[in-house]
Amino acid sequence: MSARWLVLAAAVALLAAVPWFGNAVLIQFGINALLVAVLAQSWNILGGFAGYVSFGNSVFYGLGSYGVAIAMAQWNLPFWAGLMVAAFVAVAFAALLGWPILRLRGPYFAIVTLGISAAMSALAANLDIAGKNVGLILPLTRADALFYEGSLVLLAAATLTVAWIAHSRFGMALIAIREDEDAAGSVGVNATRFKIAALAMAAFFTALAGGIHAYWITYIDPAGSFDTTLDLRMVIMTMFGGPGTVLGPVVGALVLSAIYEVLADSISTAAALFFGIVILVAVIFLPRGLVDLGGGFRTMGWRYFLANIRQYRI
Amino acid sequence: MSAALFEARGLVKRFHGLIAVSEVDFAIPRGAIVGLIGPNGAGKSTLVNLIAGAARLDEGELHFDGARIDHLPAYARAHLGIGRTYQIPKPFPDLSVRDNVAMGAMFGAGGGVRDRARARAMADEWLDFVGLAAQAGFQASRLGGPDRKRLEFAKALAMQPKLLLLDEVMAGLTPVEVDAAVGLIQRTRDRGVTVLVIEHVVPAIRRLSDTLLVLQQGRLIASGDPAAVLNDPRVIEAYLGRRRA
């Protein structure tokens, strides 16, 4: 146990030190990877713990981006005030949206979230305050090291929140919903309330990530902010790392970001193909995610992979 | 406050025009064990679902502990003190047996206990009570049929209900296991829990029940003292007739 904490502390220290030894390219890669890890970790709250697969969390990312952009570019507010606007709007939207759509289950929920994510970019493209199709330009700040550390702090906060969830009554309620929602209701779990709270927490961290990203790249438009490919990346990275675990989504996001970066750098056009193969192999051999590998391999050795294949009948 | 803990008045439930439960009235006195029998498809499980809130009434009223509950969702009825088991057990498959039962303690009546460690300690006591203590650390999906029924029982008990609805917990058990289950239900009542037992195993339910209800094609055709009810010609014809003929 203490060895595990030591490794974790060393990893965090190493990540925090990147701006001191890394070059500009590494820092920029780091900002993107950390922010996408925040998205995966946020998605994990409802998707991993409660088993509700959302393809619409990019909506909160977009709302966060636009919240900061509108606050800074239109209202001349400072960045921190923009982040507060972003978080408030996203959480309020999640609560309003959750009330009707979290009554849907399984594929119905997934499909509705997809639709909402597509509708939001059209909405932003038609709002004057959001700069319509053109988008908004934010004040330029050259401080990549700060953006990097800010993203790391946000990821740490999201991960600590998930660590709390994993050990709380709230988390047990989400797990009960994932395991059997009818049985959860029978033992007294108010499923709708817990699901809305989970979605609101996801919206909070996702919006902050969107806000940081908007200020960092200084320019946002509807297609880039309400980017539905982000939804796929959140899902894939969480599944790859280990859904419903504390560190899985972070490990999954960082590892997959790194793999993709290396592939794109070395073989460029074929990168997407190899990336697909990596995910396919992971789904077949590691259905419980990368973080399950350590414990599973220690107890079962190579049979771990066979057991996975057999259990999930792939 | 009336003597009855639970009262059903004029219950009607239709599924796509088919009547599953029709004009059913009955009361469950505080501290009683009430048995409910009936042939397959008589509407027994539907009745449990209506009481627990898993299905909505089309007509009628449900009164529990002095309040009307038919507008409440399942979780709210659980908070008031209605616990249930499922005829086909519904464990939380990926969780340990202990955590399954802890769920009951953590949410259950009055919203349950907030502390997870305490809920787990309570779960261990209930597992001991139903004879499942040795399997506490098992993953629930690895349990066999009879143990799954015991898990359902422990999970519902951990909710600390005032009224416990047992939907065929004895079906498929061996005679020895049935005896154990009868003892468990009696000891549950001794702890102050009122019990509605839905069952197929007639000898067991005759021994257990203070009052027996008979459901046939959604209608309550007899109710009262078990021995008298089982000798009622309508009951014999409807329920046992084929076997005795």
pLDDT in tens, A233-292: 899 899 999 999 999 999 999 999 998 888 877 776 777 777 778 778 877 778 788 888
Provide the β-strand partners of residue B9.
Answer: B61
- Which chain B residue is nearest to residue A165, measuring alpha carbons? B116
B22-41 pLDDT, tens digit each: 999 999 999 999 999 988 88
Interface with chain A: mutation pick from B103, B141, B153, highest number of A CBs within 10 Å: B103
Interface with chain A: mutation pick from B69, B82, B92, B155, highest number of A CBs within 10 Å: B92
- Sort A34 into a burial class: Cβ within 10 Å, 0-12 / 13-18 / 19+: buried
Q: Is a pLDDT exceeding 60 seen at residue B192?
A: yes
Instruction: Specify the pLDDT at position A270.
Output: 72
Collect all residues with Cβ–Cβ distance below 8 Å to B58 and sequence separation of at least 6: B12, B13, B14
- List the structure tokens of B175: 């005679």
Mean pLDDT of chain B: 91
Q: Is A167 on the interface with B (CB under 8 A)?
A: yes
Which residues, given as ranges, of chain A have pLDDT below 70?
1, 268, 312-314
Whether residue B90 and residue A175 make contact (CB cut-off 8 A), yes or no, is no
DSSP string for residues in A165-199: HHTSHHHHHHHHHHH-HHHHHHTT--HHHHHHHHH
B74-129 pLDDT, tens digit each: 999 999 999 999 999 999 999 999 999 999 999 999 988 999 999 999 999 999 99
- List the structure tokens of A188: 């007294």
pLDDT band at B135, cuts 50/70/90? very high
Side-by-side strand order, sheet with B194-198: B82-84, B163-167, B194-198, B33-37, B211-216, B219-224
Q: Is a pLDDT exceeding 60 seen at residue B242?
A: no
Instruction: Specify the pLDDT at position A133.
Output: 80
Q: Is a pLDDT exceeding 90 seen at residue B204?
A: no
Instruction: Specify the pLDDT at position B129.
Output: 93
Question: What distance in Å separates the CA atoms of residue B79 and residue B65, rounded to the nearest whole number?
Answer: 12
A78-111 pLDDT, tens digit each: 999 999 999 999 999 999 999 999 988 878 888 8
B68-80 pLDDT, tens digit each: 999 999 999 999 9
pLDDT band at B244, cuts 50/70/90? very low
Instruction: Specify the pLDDT at position B1.
Output: 46
Quote the minimal CA–CA distance from B244 to chain A in Å.
Answer: 39
Please tell me the pTM assigned to this model: 0.91
Q: What angle do CA B37, B43, B46 make, to 5 degrees?
A: 115
Question: What distance in Å separates the CA atoms of residue A78 and residue B211, rounded to the nearest whole number?
Answer: 72
Instruction: Specify the pLDDT at position A314.
Output: 52
Q: Is a pLDDT exceeding 50 seen at residue B212?
A: yes
Whether residue A167 and residue B116 make contact (CB cut-off 8 A), yes or no, is yes
Question: What distance in Å separates the CA atoms of residue B26 and residue B13, rounded to the nearest whole number?
Answer: 15
Question: What distance in Å separates the CA atoms of residue B3 and residue B186, rounded to the nearest whole number?
Answer: 20
Specify whether the CB–CB gap between A226 and A124 falls below 8 A: yes
B138-185 pLDDT, tens digit each: 999 999 888 999 999 999 999 999 999 999 988 888 888 889 899 999
Instruction: Please compute, for residue A240, the number of CA atoms within 13 A of its CA located in the half-sphere on the CB side.
Output: 25
Query: What's the Rg (C-alpha) of chain A?
Result: 20
User: Who among A172, A179, A190 is closest to B106 (CB)?
Assistant: A172
pLDDT band at B239, cuts 50/70/90? low
